Amino acid sequence: MSEDVSCRAIEPELATVAAGEGRAGAAERVERHVARCAPCRDELERYRAVEGMLGSLRRAPLADDDATLSRAQLASRLADLRSRILGFAVFPSPLGRVLIGRSEQGVAVVQYVPEGGALPAHVRRLLGDDAVEDRAATEDLWAELLEYLRGDRARLEWPLDLRRMRSDFQRRVLEATAALPYGAVTSYAGIAMRIGVPAAARPVAQALRWNPLPIIIPCHRVIGSAGTLTGYAGHRVDLKQRLLAVEGVKTVAAGGALRIRREAMYCLVNGEREYCLPSCGSALTDSLAGLTLFGTRAGAEAAGLQPCGSCRPDLHPLAA
């Protein structure tokens, strides 16, 4: 009697022994108890009967157990998720930490992110709910971006996913910006002219401020109409200067701001196919909006332009 356990305490073991899952010694304890205790013997049998019923229930067909339609819906929702989902990772670069995110369609997000800590709210918004960290998916892009930032590569020919545009206006602004050649600059008003809304210089600046793909869509090539490097990645005009320097566009500090040296750049009057010296004809007087300026002849010629037949920049190149 001394090692016997009460009926209440044995019940959990009756149940587990009935289910065939009793732990060490349980079967023996139960056996000893029910040998003396008729009510618990019955109880053990009842638990065995319950297990038998549960086994039947487990094997019995279930009403509404046809997963075919649900599976088909899942396939379509997964396909949709796959096309939306972003794989992203944060990489070091000469310009600081850069986040690169790509979807099945193409590169969707490139953002500067501060050292350490969580991602800023605007970056998380751009990533959306369907972003997963995926270094393997973005590492090749990072390698090409580094080549670009070293000046070893003039183009990043990445398929782009432009579904994160805020508006059709922003899309037009960014498309016009993407068309600016390597090594060239124009003004916000210049982009506004190109998209047929010449008065919209400020909205253009706003649209570029929320560029989801800086560097790739080269908003650093768009500057103030006075030639100053204004707003970039918050207050990181220094990054804008470095990106332009990689492309051969020199800047100088003047009056507390950085500006291009228009007098030291080759000019393209919009709509022309020839580039000029800054002293040539209308290039001299036109506002920056009507021009595209190149830091080097090589840049202008890489953009498919010919030297002007009058001012002959090929014979009288600007001092380097």
Interaction of residue 119 with other proteins, rule CB under 8 A: no
Residue by residue, DSSP assigns 246-308 as HTT--EEEETTEEEE-GGGSEEEETT-SEEE-TTSGGGGTS-GGGEEEES-HHHHHHTTPEEP
Q: Where are the beta strands (DSSP E) in 190-248?
A: 222-223
Which residues, 3 to 32, sit near other proteins by CB under 8 A? 11-12, 15-16, 19
Residue 177 and residue 192 in contact, taking contact as beta carbons nearer than 8 Å: no
133 vs 238 by CB, closer to other proteins: 133
Which residues, 79 to 98, sit near other proteins by CB under 8 A? 81-82, 85
Query: Residues 8, 59, 155, 235: which binds other proteins (CB under 8 A)?
Result: 59
Shortest reach from residue 60's CB to other proteins, in Å: 4
What DSSP state is assigned to residue 24? T
Interaction of residue 56 with other proteins, rule CB under 8 A: yes
Interaction of residue 114 with other proteins, rule CB under 8 A: no
Cα dihedral 114, 117, 122, 123, rounded to 10, equals: 80
Shortest reach from residue 16's CB to other proteins, in Å: 8
Place of tokens 């998209």: 195
56 vs 285 by CB, closer to other proteins: 56
Interaction of residue 50 with other proteins, rule CB under 8 A: yes
Helices and strands in the chain: count of H runs, count of E runs: 11, 12
31 vs 45 by CB, closer to other proteins: 45
Closest CA to 238 of 220, 224, 262: 220
Alpha-carbon gap, residue 10 to 142, rounded angstroms: 65
Region of 53-61, 92-100, 242-250, 256-264 interacting with other proteins (CB under 8 A)? 53-61
Interaction of residue 284 with other proteins, rule CB under 8 A: no
Q: Using CB under 8 A, list all residues that contact other proteins.
A: 11-12, 15-16, 19, 45-50, 52-54, 56-65, 67, 69-71, 73-75, 77-78, 81-82, 85, 130, 132-134
